[in-house]
């Protein structure tokens, strides 16, 4: 019976049902990407706004963070033109498990456009755009490309740099409509955005095919974000023009064939009951946006292993082959006995080392560490046996119980055995601490019953020798009672 809190963000097959007594607790959809929201996207120098980072699942839904994660902010290059500057505080922060997101601040420092990117290891990064605009009196400064309002508006679709997006129907290109001036109080601008051919366009919470009406409100120079996705390969031409018949701008977005870049456990398991010894796993290949690739062009062999408990965790099969006719693979994780620590990691790795691997962690609910009683008892019994063997061999004493005689303490067999039990446990704990600090695989070895008994015996044998020397120093006239050595004449 497995008694171990293993923590595994493991994946299990959709549609695989476990009996009620062995049902696995399924975590909500796990984060796959980040989302960055700027509270105010048009700023003046010195103004401050909030940067809100959130976690999204595969379908772009906001989900809680599944583990402690570090997110980092940085300014990235923009289209040709004035690059703004700002101070982000803090530049990185840790988001605890269970949180829906976190907030940093941006203070505007220099005029221009400022793309901000947020990253976190293992997640698809996100970016957002802010405009740092001049004060109204400075609107005529031509070097800043914020033109004064004359007879015609000037707009841009940005970014103009090429965006290559997987044509998976889910991944999204991001665009913004940028004005070359800040709208005056009470002024509002309507922009018609169209795609050729017609693809899915998302704006302001609405989703339409091939078209969207974008609104830029007063005292702003930038629209909210526009997202475009497609499941068909090819170039999409996107055009924006001010209504009714104003200036326009256009960009192209390339939608490419989705290609595998990473192995992924299809769904993540957070916890399982301590009595459960088998966990179903499901494997897929995903593209750079963590979206499953349904049409594989060739076969891939994925090896399964446990970096922390290679001897206690087995897989059936240990190598899963994904093929063009079968893009989803299944396996079963079997736990032979209690692992060394509460965290058991499971690794899925491409045998050809082309794709990025995926690693998950499983936690058992209701686990009681073997170290808390079985290993303690085994280490203590090993120590008692080691101490008893040394006591009999070195002393050949017939004194069983501890006693006080001639002003000295004599422990006897019983006293030595009790101390040996303690010495065995102490040495095992010291060894366990050293092995855990060394590596995860070493910690798995020290967590076995054999290791507990072995280090207990060593502790018992060595501990009695140390105890004898200590008592000899406390009682200078005391003799250890060891049998005399035979000296050859």
pLDDT at 15 over 50: no
Give the mean model confidence (pLDDT) for residues 310-318.
84
Q: Which helix (H) or strand (E) holds 266?
A: none
C-alpha span between 323 and 319 (Å, rounded): 13
pLDDT at 456 over 80: no
Residue showing tokens 């913004």: 176
User: What is the share, in percent, of the chain residues with pLDDT greater than 70?
Assistant: 60
Q: What is the pLDDT of residue 130?
A: 93
pLDDT at 419 over 80: no
pLDDT at 231 over 60: yes
pLDDT at 400 over 70: no
pLDDT tens per residue across span 132-151 = 998 764 443 443 343 333 33
pLDDT tens per residue across span 342-370 = 667 889 999 999 999 998 877 655 545 54
How far CA 451 is from CA of 276, 311, 342, in Å, comes to 25, 14, 18
C-alpha span between 224 and 215 (Å, rounded): 8
Beta partners for residue 236, in sequence order: 253
pTM of the model: 0.65
Structure tokens of 270?
């957070």
CA-nearest of 488, 469, 487, 489 to 479 is 469
> Which band of pLDDT confidence, cut at 50, 70 and 90, is reported for residue 60?
very high
Angle of CA points 76, 141, 135, to nearest 5°? 80
Of 193-202, 290-299, 340-349, 408-417, where does the model show the most confidence? 193-202
C-alpha span between 334 and 217 (Å, rounded): 58
Residues across the chain: 489
DSSP per-residue letters across 300-364: EEEEEE-SS-TTTEEEESSEEEEBTTB--EEEEEEE-S--SSS-EEEEEEETTS-SBPEEEEEEE
CA-nearest of 166, 163, 154 to 237 is 163
470 or 292, higher pLDDT: 292
Let me know if 293 is exposed, middle or buried by CB neighbors in 10 A (0-12, 13-18, 19+): buried
pLDDT tens per residue across span 432-442 = 666 555 554 44
> Which band of pLDDT confidence, cut at 50, 70 and 90, is reported for residue 161?
confident
Let me know if 1 is exposed, middle or buried by CB neighbors in 10 A (0-12, 13-18, 19+): exposed
Q: Which domains does the chain have, with CATH numbers?
A: 20-24+268-364 (2.60.40.10), 28-146 (2.60.40.10), 151-259 (2.60.40.10), 370-474 (no CATH)
Q: What is the pLDDT of residue 356?
A: 93
pLDDT tens per residue across span 94-103 = 999 899 899 9
C-alpha span between 329 and 477 (Å, rounded): 74
């Amino acid at each position: 019976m497995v008694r171990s809190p293993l923590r595994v963000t493991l994946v299990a097959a959709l549609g695989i049902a476990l009996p009620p007594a062995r049902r696995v607790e399924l975590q909500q959809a796990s984060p796959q990407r980040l989302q960055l929201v700027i509270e105010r996207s048009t700023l003046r120098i010195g103004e401050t706004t909030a940067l809100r980072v959130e976690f999204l699942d595969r379908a772009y839904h906001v989900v809680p963070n599944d583990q402690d994660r570090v997110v980092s902010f940085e300014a990235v290059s923009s289209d040709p033109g004035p690059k703004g500057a700002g101070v982000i505080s803090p530049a990185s922060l840790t988001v605890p498990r269970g949180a829906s997101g976190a907030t940093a601040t941006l203070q505007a420092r220099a005029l221009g456009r400022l793309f901000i990117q947020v990253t976190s290891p293992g997640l698809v990064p996100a970016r957002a755009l802010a405009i740092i605009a001049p004060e109204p009196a400075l609107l005529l400064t031509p070097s800043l490309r914020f033109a004064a309002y004359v007879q015609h508006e000037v707009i841009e679709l940005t970014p103009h740099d090429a965006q290559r997006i997987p044509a998976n129907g889910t991944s999204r290109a991001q665009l913004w409509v940028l004005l070359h001036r800040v709208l005056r109080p009470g002024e509002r601008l309507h922009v018609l955005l169209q795609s050729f051919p017609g693809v899915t366009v998302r704006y302001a919470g609405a989703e339409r095919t091939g078209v969207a009406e974008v609104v830029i409100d007063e005292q702003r120079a930038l629209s909210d974000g526009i997202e475009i996705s497609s499941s068909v390969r090819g170039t999409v031409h996107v055009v924006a023009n001010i209504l009714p018949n104003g200036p326009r701008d256009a960009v192209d977005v390339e939608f490419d064939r989705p290609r595998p870049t990473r192995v992924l456990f299809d769904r993540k398991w957070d916890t399982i009951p301590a009595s459960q010894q088998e966990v179903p796993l499901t494997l897929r290949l995903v593209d750079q946006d963590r979206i499953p690739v349904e049409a594989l062009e060739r076969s891939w062999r994925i090896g399964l292993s446990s970096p922390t408990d290679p001897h206690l965790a087995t897989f059936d099969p240990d190598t899963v082959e994904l093929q063009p006719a079968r893009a989803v693979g299944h396996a079963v994780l079997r736990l032979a006995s209690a692992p060394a620590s509460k965290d058991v990691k499971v690794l899925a790795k491409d045998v050809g080392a082309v794709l990025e691997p995926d690693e998950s962690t499983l936690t058992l609910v209701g686990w009681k560490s073997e170290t808390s009683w079985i290993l303690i008892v085994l280490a203590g019994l090993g120590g008692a046996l080691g101490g008893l063997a040394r006591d009999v061999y070195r002393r050949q004493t017939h004194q069983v119980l501890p006693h006080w005689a001639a002003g000295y303490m004599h422990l006897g067999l019983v006293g030595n055995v009790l101390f040996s039990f303690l010495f065995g446990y102490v040495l095992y704990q010291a060894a366990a601490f050293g092995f855990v600090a060394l590596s995860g695989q070493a910690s798995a070895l020290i967590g076995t019953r054999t290791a507990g008994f072995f280090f207990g015996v060593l502790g018992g044998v060595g501990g009695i020798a140390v105890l004898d020397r200590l008592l000899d120093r406390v009682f200078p006239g005391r003799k250890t009672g060891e049998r005399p050595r035979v000296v050859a004449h």
